Amino acid sequence: MVTKKEREAPPTPAQRVTLPEPAQAAAPPSADFALETVDLSVHYGPRPAIQHVEIGIRHRTVTAIIGPSGCGKSTLLRCFNRMNDLIPTCRIEGKVLFHGQNIYYPGVDATEIRYRIGMVFQKANPFPKPIYDNVAFGPRINGLHGNLDELVERSLRRAALWDEVKDRLKHSAFALSGGQQQRLCIARALAIEPEVLLMDEPASALDPTATARIEDLIRELAGEIPIVIVTHNMQQAARASDMTAFMLAGSLIEYSSTNDLFTNPKEERTEAYITGRFG
Ligand SMILES: Nc1ncnc2c1ncn2[C@@H]1O[C@H](COP(=O)(O)OP(=O)(O)O)[C@@H](O)[C@H]1O
Ligand SMILES: [Mg+2]
């Protein structure tokens, strides 16, 4: 066991902190969780956007974050890979532990964090490039040159897109449908082999058929990589996730297995939300 005191001790030296590689990941508590927050609060202005959030994201699990608009779902998700750092007014207190180490310690490289904890956004945002180059983009930035065919194919297969695009890899990504573009963005995120995948309402701009494909894909990927998905769609959380976190006004109200949360909620506010009494 790593004690609380050991966990909270700052790393030395202070300059650049090297996070452990997956193979040499620390002993518990990080063995239980891919990501873990400790008393996490975020302010953009005087009022907190999220407050005192404590949540552990399990390995090989789909975790859904649900709650009404503005409750802090995206803010929490962006804390997991330091995406909030890009918002100038944003102030973050507390910790996010990854391999047992706080990703907010001075000296941790936020860019490395964003490579290792990938993210897919609400609106598909392919680059104005061929399909192939979209997927090869991250690996090339990381210094991988030469023949990336295998990596591109593997990533497109993992994103359940290969069969639809294998004959037109040189075509513009913009020629794809909305659902295909979103799967391309997932392939692009997977191509740099992230250890966790974050998704912020990845299907909310898609029609029901394309949404179902994304949900199937999430289920398939869950065997390989932990996925955290923000959704305002309760049916989607119920269908696609193993664990569900319900947030309200910046607080984490309830966090349990998706089945328990939807069939036997412990909190009255959870029950009110899932039965449609507000939201
Ligand atoms: N970039 C930002 N600047 C200022 N306030 C923000 C910003 N992003 C979110 N907020 C505020 O933080 C709160 C939580 O927002 P958000 O995390 O986007 O909620 P959700 O994703 O659940 O809709 C809201 O009050 C929202 O207005
Ligand atoms: Mg949001």
H or E, element range at 96: strand 91-98
Ligand 1 pocket mutation pick from 53, 74, 232 by most atoms within 8 angstroms of CB: 74
How far does CA 277 lie from the centroid of its chain? 28
pLDDT for 145: 85
- Pocket-testing residue among 75, 121, 246, ligand 1, by greatest number of atoms within 8 A of Cβ: 75
- Residues lining ligand 1, CB < 6 A? 44, 49, 67, 69-75, 87, 89
Specify the pLDDT at position 233. Answer: 92
User: CA of 277: how far to CAs of 38, 46, 142, in Å?
Assistant: 31, 29, 48
Q: At the topology level of CATH, where does 4-10+28-274 sit?
A: Rossmann fold (3.40.50)
**Alpha carbon of 261 to ligand 2 centroid (Å):** 21
- Closest-CA residue, ligand 1 atom 27, reads 70
List the residue whose alpha carbon is closest to atom 7 of ligand 1.
Answer: 44
In the DSSP assignment, the letter for residue 62 is: E
Handedness of CA 67, 70, 73, 76 (dihedral sign): negative
Q: 97 pairs with which residues across the strands?
A: 36, 102
The burial class, CB within 10 Å (0-12 / 13-18 / 19+), for 75 is buried
Residue type, 227: I
pTM of this prediction?
A: 0.89
Question: What separation in Å is there between the alpha carbon of 24 and the centre of ligand 2?
Answer: 34
What is the pLDDT at residue 13? 46
Ligand 2 centroid from CA 169, angstroms: 32
Looking at residue 22, its pLDDT comes to 58
From the CA of 213, how far away is ligand 2's center (Å)? 21
Tens of pLDDT along the chain (279 residues)? 333 344 344 444 444 556 666 544 444 445 789 999 999 999 999 999 999 999 999 999 999 999 999 999 999 999 999 999 889 999 999 999 999 999 999 999 999 999 999 999 999 999 999 999 999 999 999 898 889 999 999 999 999 999 999 999 999 999 999 999 999 999 999 999 999 999 999 999 999 999 999 999 999 999 999 999 999 999 999 999 999 999 999 999 999 999 999 999 999 999 999 999 876
**104 C-alpha vs ligand 1 centroid, how far in Å?**
20
Going from the C-alpha of 84 to that of each of 16, 90, 92, the distances in angstroms are 20, 7, 8
